[in-house]
Structure 1
Amino acid sequence: MLKEECFYLGKIVSKFSFKGEVLIKLDTDEPEEYTGMESVFVEYNENLVPFFIERSGLHRSTLLRVKFEDVDTEEGAEDIMKCAVYLPLNKLPELDGDKFYFHEIIGFTVEDVNYGTVGKITAINDSTAQSLFEIDKDGKQVLIPLNDEFIEKLDKKNKIIFVKTPEGLIDLYLD
C-alpha cells in the first residue's frame, strides 16, 4: 500500500497496558466512525505495515484504545510509539453536499464569479495557518485561501469549484 493511496488517521501516542495496548490520537471530528476497524497501516521504518486489530474502543473522546494482534507486551507497544496510522482512501466516510476531502478536488477547475475560469487545482497547501488552493493558470501558480466564505458551490459531477474571491486577488498572481 502506498501512502498516496491512504489518508492519515492519527498517531500512536501512548501505551495503555502492560499487555501491548496502545492509544491512538485520531485526527477526525467523528472518532466513533473508527471503532469497528479490522486493520490499519502503521508507518514503521518509512513503510506502511498492516496491523490487525483484536479489539478497540474509544477512550476519552478522540483517543482510540487498540489491542493489535501480535503486540502482546509493553516492549512491543513501545516499538510502535509515535508511529503514524493510515487507512486506505476508500475507507473515508462519504461527505454530504458541498463538503469535500482535499484529495478529492485535485484536478477540479476553479471558476471565479467575477474573474471567470481561474485554472485547475494541482494541490492543497495545508502547511500554512490558512489552507490554500494551489491552482495552475497557464503555467502560473495562483493561490486562493480555502475559505468557506469564498466557496460558492461545489459541482462534484463536473469537477468544478465555484468561488467568489475578493476583487484583485487573482490578478495579483497573473499581472
Structure 2
Amino acid sequence: MTTDSKLILVGQVAGGFGVKGEVRVTAYTAEPKTLLSYGVLLRADGSTGLTLTGGRAEKSAVVGRAKEIATKEEADALRGLKLYIPRDKLPEPDEDEFYLTDLVGLEARDPEGVVLGSVKSVQNFGADDMLEIAPAQGGPTWYLPFTRDAVPDLHIADGWLLVVKPVEIGEREPD
C-alpha cells in the first residue's frame, strides 16, 4: 500500500466486546456502519490495521468481527489504534462543499495576497474547527478559527485560502 494519497481518520479501536473476539471501533463517520463498507482500514503508516468482516452499529461505534482478531485479548491489545482510509475512497463532495482534510496544505494568504503560511492541520478542541497555520517564515504554528470572518474565501482548486487574522492573533506590539 502506498501512502501517496491522503489518509483520512475514520475510527479508533475501543477494545474487545464480549468474550467471543468481537471488537468495538469508535466511528468518526456520520453513520458508524459506513466503516463496514470501506474494507481494509489502515494504520497511519498505510499498513493494514483491521478488516471488518461484519458487525452492527451501537451508538457512535461499530461492534463486529475483524479478520485480524480472534480473541477478546487480541482486540484489547489494539485499543487506541487509529484507523484510516485513503481520501480517494470518499465520494467527491458536491459543488460548494469540501472535506476539512482538503484544506491541509493550502496556502494561507492575507487580503494583500501575502503568503502567511500553509494549513498544517484542522483541529477541533471542543468548540469550533481551528486551522493550524505553519508560518511561511518558520517558527511556531498558530491557530485561526475556521469562521467566515477569519476565512472569508476558499480557493481549494487553486491551492489557497484568504485569511483575516483576528486582532488577538496579530503581531504583538513591542514592549
Instruction: Return the TM-score normalized by structure 1.
Output: 0.71
The superposition leaves residues 1-42 of structure 1 with CA deviations (integer Å, 9 ceiling, x where unpaired) of 577852322221132232211111112344343232222125
Mapping 1:1-175, distance limit 5 Å: 1=1, 5-42=6-43, 48-60=47-59, 62-96=60-94, 97=96, 99-102=98-101, 104-113=102-111, 115-121=112-118, 123-124=120-121, 126=123, 131-139=130-138, 143-149=142-148, 150-167=150-167, 169-172=169-172
Q: Secondary structure, in 3 states, of the residue corresponding to 1:31? A: coil
More strand by share: 1
Q: Secondary structure, in 3 states, of the residue corresponding to 2:158? A: coil
Change (3 A) 1:32 1:93: farther
The offset of 1:157, in angstroms, is 1.5
Q: Distance in 2 between matches of 1:145 and 1:32?
A: 33
Q: Secondary structure, in 3 states, of the residue corresponding to 1:71? A: coil
The superposition leaves residues 107-152 of structure 1 with CA deviations (integer Å, 9 ceiling, x where unpaired) of 4222333x54233305137386773432434446673413213111
Q: Secondary structure, in 3 states, of the residue corresponding to 2:18? A: coil
Once the two structures are aligned, what percentage of the paired residues are identical?
A: 17
Q: Secondary structure, in 3 states, of the residue corresponding to 1:34? A: helix
Q: Distance in 2 between matches of 1:111 and 1:151?
A: 10
Change (3 A) 1:172 1:144: farther
The answer (yes or no) to whether the contact 1:98–1:154 under 8 Å persists in 2 is: no
Q: Distance in 1 between matches of 2:36 and 2:131?
A: 32
The answer (yes or no) to whether the contact 2:23–2:72 under 8 Å persists in 1 is: no
Q: Distance in 1 between matches of 2:80 and 2:97?
A: 34
The answer (yes or no) to whether the contact 1:35–1:58 under 8 Å persists in 2 is: no
For structure 2, list consecutive stretches of 5 or more residues without a partner in the other structure.
Answer: none
The superposition leaves residues 83-117 of structure 1 with CA deviations (integer Å, 9 ceiling, x where unpaired) of 22222232344344254324x3344222333x542
The offset of 1:154, in angstroms, is 1.0
Change (3 A) 1:74 1:101: same
Please identify, of 80-89 and 131-140, the stretch whose mean Cα deviation from structure 2 is larger. Answer: 131-140
The offset of 1:155, in angstroms, is 1.1
For structure 1, list consecutive stretches of 5 or more residues without a partner in the other structure.
Answer: none
Change (3 A) 1:135 1:63: same
